[in-house]
Amino acid sequence: MGYKKGEVFGIISPNIPEFPIVLYGASGAGMPVSLVNPTFTAEEMARQLSAVGATALFGVAPMAETLKQVARLCPAIRHVILLGPPQDGAVSFQLMAQDSAGDLFNETLDINVKEDIFLLPHSSGTSGLPKSVMNMGFQTGAKLVTLPQFERTFGRVYENFFSGEPLVVPPLVSLLAQHPALKVESLSQTHTITCGAAPLSVKTSVTLIERLNNPNLSLQEGYGLSETFPGVLMAPLGNTKLGSCGAPISRSKAKVINHEIGDQALGPYQHGELYVSGWLRTGDVAYYDDDGNFYIVDRLKELIKVKGLQVAPAELEDMPSLESPTNTPVNSLELTSSGNREWSRSATLKFRHLSTPRSHKQIKGGIEFCAAIPKNNMGKILRRELRVQYANSQSTS
């Protein structure tokens, strides 16, 4: 197909068994892989793929029209490869897979797993719009069970396929702890549960431990970022510090910094921004206890999460086209109600959208008017102060 080592291969697909075939096939051809959320709009997909300079794109047949639209928005994309029957404007994955002799694969390609880029995961970062991170070689070896979307059938899949050491995220911990259809007996072989991606509440942890009633169960939390691929903090086996993501793993370091008065390293139980190995800024507010166990308590960037989907404030603030003659700035922040529903609220004057955003990016918490948007001396919006202003206005109203 004429692709060369270093060209970027985009994958926009739900969870399917063919995913690792495509992933490792592209990697074996020397092409870094950019993974794109299949729930994105065509414009969002194109923005990410344009940023990394993708030249090939893989997806599934039901998304054909969307993927073709993405290709039109990204002129660098030369081929759209679809899992499905042949159709105009796309290459059939099944026909490519019939290359039984392997003539399409270059086995002499020089791949350096320690230096060549393997993945380009998209990270929200700590400032500005989302961006891609360069990750190097990767090794795996496990049974793969895929679900196109997470559904309540997860419980049955867990019973039939999962081992005694599941890797989960907080919503799945809540499911294991509360879902009535999930038989406790099916979890009897579970000895270690490792949770990541977001802080796990102590309440949820206690509920799960009490439900399983297994004295040998170890509930661990870990912490990592796209930039650290994958982790830097991990609670130990037999963890008793619920709510903690543990201490730095081998050959890793972490510290908490107070940026309000300079790069001052803080002591135990003092809240500040978490820095990790090489002193990478994480954008997370954390503290550590006397034993060196870290706890994540907030997000400096005020990343908005709606029903588990991330919304970068900078992306919302860049979306409106202002009608105000004074070009009043737009700001978005997260406000959580007592019903645990998360809304984005905008501090601005009258505006209109150039294009209709997806539902989780639409402003549903209302519009607030204020005299000025608080900023620091570098022009960065102080969302924390906006939150305080809003809380004060509600308490006095």
Q: Tell me: pLDDT of 272 over 80.
A: yes
Please give the pLDDT value at position 312.
61
Instruction: State pLDDT tens for residues 167-216.
Output: 888 888 888 888 777 778 877 788 899 998 888 889 999 999 999 888 88
Please give the pLDDT value at position 310.
63
Confidence label for 286 from pLDDT (cuts 50, 70 and 90): very high
Confidence label for 352 from pLDDT (cuts 50, 70 and 90): very low
Q: Tell me: pLDDT of 268 over 50.
A: yes
What is the Cα Rg of the chain in Å?
Answer: 23
Q: Which domains does the chain have, with CATH numbers?
A: 8-132 (3.40.50.980), 154-299 (3.40.50.12780), 304-396 (3.30.300.30)
Please report, to the nearest 10 degrees, the dihedral formed by the alpha carbons of residues 246, 161, 164, 22 taken in order.
-40
Which region, left, alpha or beta, applies to residue 72 given φ > 0 means left and ψ of -120 to 50 means alpha? Answer: alpha
Amino acid sitting at position 122? H
Confidence label for 42 from pLDDT (cuts 50, 70 and 90): very high
* More confident of the two residues 379 and 3: 3
Q: Residues of the chain with pLDDT > 90: what percent? A: 29
Confidence label for 334 from pLDDT (cuts 50, 70 and 90): very low
Question: What 3-state class would DSSP assign to 310?
Answer: strand
Average pLDDT over residues 270-298: 91
Which region, left, alpha or beta, applies to residue 303 given φ > 0 means left and ψ of -120 to 50 means alpha? Answer: beta
* More confident of the two residues 176 and 344: 176
Please give the pLDDT value at position 146.
72
Closest C-alpha to 123, from 241, 235, 229, 3: 229
Please state the φ and ψ torsions of residue 382, each to the nearest 5 degrees.
Answer: -95, 85
Whether the CB-CB separation of 295 and 202 falls below 8 Å is answered with no
The mean pLDDT value of the chain amounts to 78
Confidence label for 314 from pLDDT (cuts 50, 70 and 90): low
Please give the pLDDT value at position 247.
96
Please give the pLDDT value at position 3.
85
Confidence label for 22 from pLDDT (cuts 50, 70 and 90): very high
- Alpha-helical (H) ranges within 236-355 are 313-317
